[in-house]
Chains A and B, each alone.
Chain A
Amino acid sequence: MTFLQIVEGPLFYIAAAVFVIAALWRLIGIIRIGHKADIAPPKGSATGGFIAGNLRHFVPRKSFAKRTWIHLVAGYSFHLGLFVLLLFAAPHIDFARDRIFGFDWPAMPRWGFIVAAQFAFAGLIMLWVRRFADPVMRLISDWDDHIGSWLTFLVMLTGCLALQESHDALKAIHMLFVDIWLIYFPFSRLMHALTFFLSRGYTGATYGRKGMTL
């Protein structure tokens, strides 16, 4: 078995299993802590608030946009670029068809990959540079933030290097970083990608009961 076969075969399935099991464990663990039932007579719906809170916080608030524009631009650039790459890059679709789902969907053209990658890299680098350049982020950042940024950066970088699929070694290095990233994800702050809906939802529900959307 070649190194490539290992990292995209058994190691990938182990990493994916760790990702799914640990992420579910953590999500269910948070929910299972539970909270007391709120008996104050509501003015609105907690469920509606849960949904509204999630949707509302996708949209930047005008009052703060002037002060936080760097983060907004970098954050949306990185996340949208990354999701487009993850879901619509031709090699990813092929991999998903062959190794996971058994079906595929239309891929974006090569120029689309280049544009999405540029957005994702620019955003991630801006966010990471701010981790040590901005006094607030420097104070509150820890090793987990930096490792998460670096791992994601390496996954993206090796993915670009492997784009042509001309060298097995480059593809194997990319898959190795993907496997490491998958294992690291559920134990790190990268989990925000799955916990954000709870955080927004719980706050949204509290305010929903008060008849408002925050």
Chain B
Amino acid sequence: MTATSQKAVDKFLEVIDSDIAAFAESCVHCGECAEACHFYLATKDPKYTPTYKLFPLVKAYKRHKSPISGIAKMLGFAPAEVTEEELREWEPLVYDSCTMCGRCTLVCPMAIDIAGTIRKMREGYVAADIVPDGLVSAAANAERTGSPMGVTLKALSAQIKHQEEATGIKIEIDKKGADYMALLSSMEIMGFPEIIGAYAKLFKQAGVSWTISSKAFEATNVGVQIGSGKMAKMLVERIVDAAEELEVKHVISPECGHAYGALRWAGPNMVGKEFSFKVVHIIELLDQLRREGKIPVGEKDTRRMTLHDPCQIIRRGGLLQEPRSLLNDSCSDFVEMEGAGIANLCCGGGGGVSANPRAEELQMAAFSKKLDQINDVGGVEAVVVPCANCRTVFEDGLDEFEADFEVIGLGELVADTLATK
């Protein structure tokens, strides 16, 4: 065992709790999970079977932490030590071919949370410094600026200014005592800045007091994607500090998949305390404002639309009905794709895969399954994608496969179909 593999194994053993132990003890190697994995479906390569991706961690558990490890070692049927070669061989399986979408859990007869376990397994890889270059540079950017794309306050300010000019609404930065502090993802700021204008329009209409922090405007948590607990915590703390400083009551998680889970569900556990504010997802908030009659719908969009379910918001986030309610209100021809909802297919680029250039070909293959699913609906003119990362994956994929439909964010659609006063 080398020092590198020792570091990985030590971390594996540290992160294995009773949940992961139960998963490792319960897998019967039935292989059903392969049938839920978009990487396997796209390639038919058995190595992309989700449970296979966990093998090094399970091996370390069975050798060192299982309740029968001692007797297994004594009788000679404990697995061998995890080697550095094995770890390196598994690295593309752990990082390139798992978006931590969690679809495999649905089909697993034991309900094994493979996505959550991959997330923990990546901590071992970070400890051993066996991480894809793309994610390393995203992590370096995040450490320096808070943003994986290196988006600075200057860049954000420029985008806010453009949106103020476009909407004629003033957007206040660092407004102390605001009810809501909105977070954005780098992808939104640089690729889809219209969402900032959409917030301004919607919140003005609803009479919501909101702001953006100059110190913590980024929601993306690359620490969660790469598997660095330390970095994930640091990025959450940045948001917590800013929210406490501005004394806001709520923090809005944007249309970004993993950011919601990182802040809403993992955040308090990372920083070790309950937040003094509530975390709400923008979709949750818009749905609430719509039900309260504060953002009534005007003229509906008449295009034939379908909804992509971002895994971390829907399947792993629990916001299943809210986007559907908003879309039903805003669109006169909303049609669901087959398998929509909790079991919907991932876009192929979550969990840091889209930030990993080495995985590009595989990601595109996985996206082709998503495209098939949309094409099967027939006549779709626009797909609503309430996650900026998924949206970027869609746009790249549509270019690659020369598909002809528009990709739009949900917040923008709600803003565009808002009844004018």
Contact = CB atoms under 8 A, between A and B. Distances in A.
A185 to B, nearest CB: 12
A39 B47 contact: no
Given A28-B67, A40-B268, A137-B31, 10 more contacts: A64-B106, A68-B107, A138-B46, A139-B47, A140-B31, A140-B46, A189-B29, A199-B26, A200-B110, A201-B22
A136 interface: yes
A105 interface: no
A137 B28 CA distance: 10
Contact of A200 (B17, B35, B111, B272): B111
Interface string B32-53: 1011100010000011010110
A137 B52 CA distance: 10
A68 B32 contact: yes
Interface stretch (B259-267, B296-304, B400-408): B259-267
Contacts of B40: 136
B274 interface: yes
B378 interface: no
A86 interface: no
A191 B268 CA distance: 35
A33 interface: yes
Contacts of A41: 268, 274, 278
A33 B35 contact: no
Interface stretch (A88-96, A109-117, A155-163, A203-211): A203-211
Given A33-B16, A141-B29, A211 B112 contact: no
**What 7 A-B pairs are tightest by C-beta distance, nearest first?**
A29-B67, A35-B17, A199-B26, A198-B22, A136-B31, A210-B318, A202-B19
Interface-central residue, B17, B19, B52, B116, by most chain A CB under 10 Å: B19
A195 B49 contact: no
B398 interface: no
A202 B49 contact: no
A170 to B, nearest CB: 30
Interface in A96-146: 127, 134-142, 145
Contacts of B22: 30, 195, 198-199, 201-202
Contacts, number: 162
A36 B15 CA distance: 11
Contact of B46 (A38, A63, A135, A206): A135
Interface of A is mostly: helix
A26 B28 contact: no
Range of interface residues on B (Cβ < 8 Å): 35 or more
B245 interface: no
21 contacts: A29-B68, A35-B19, A36-B17, A39-B273, A43-B318, A64-B35, A136-B40, A137-B31, A139-B49, A140-B49, A142-B29, A186-B68, A187-B77, A191-B25, A192-B27, A192-B110, A198-B25, A199-B22, A199-B23, A203-B105, A212-B320
Contacts of A31: 18
A61 interface: yes
Interface of A: 22, 25-26, 28-36, 38-41, 43, 53, 56-57, 61, 63-64, 67-68, 71, 75, 127, 134-142, 145, 186-187, 189, 191-192, 195-196, 198-204, 206-207, 209-212, 214
Nearest to A57: B111
A26 B65 CA distance: 11
B274 A30 contact: no
A32 B16 CA distance: 12
Contacts of B266: 40
A34 to B, nearest CB: 5
Nearest to A138: B46
Max chain A Cβ within 10 angstroms of own Cβ: one of B110, B112, B266? B110
B110 A57 contact: yes
Contacts of B105: 203, 214
A31 to B, nearest CB: 6
A29 B102 CA distance: 27
Interface in B298-352: 315-318, 320, 339, 342-343
B17 A33 contact: yes
B21 interface: yes
Nearest to A135: B46
Given A198-B26, A214-B106, A187 B318 contact: no
A207 B318 contact: yes
Contacts of B29: 137, 140-142, 145, 189
Interface string B54-87: 0000000000011110011000010000000000
Contacts of B268: 39-41
Nearest to A186: B68
A59 to B, nearest CB: 11
B109 interface: yes
Contacts of A191: 25
A189 to B, nearest CB: 6
A39 B274 CA distance: 6
Contacts of A33: 16-18, 21, 65
Contacts of B3: none
A61 B21 CA distance: 25
B269 interface: yes
B113 interface: yes
A48 to B, nearest CB: 14
A174 B56 CA distance: 38
B228 to A, nearest CB: 18
A186 B112 CA distance: 20
A212 B318 contact: yes
Given A207-B318, A210-B318, A214-B105, A26 B25 contact: yes
Nearest to A130: B31
A195 B269 contact: no
B30 interface: yes
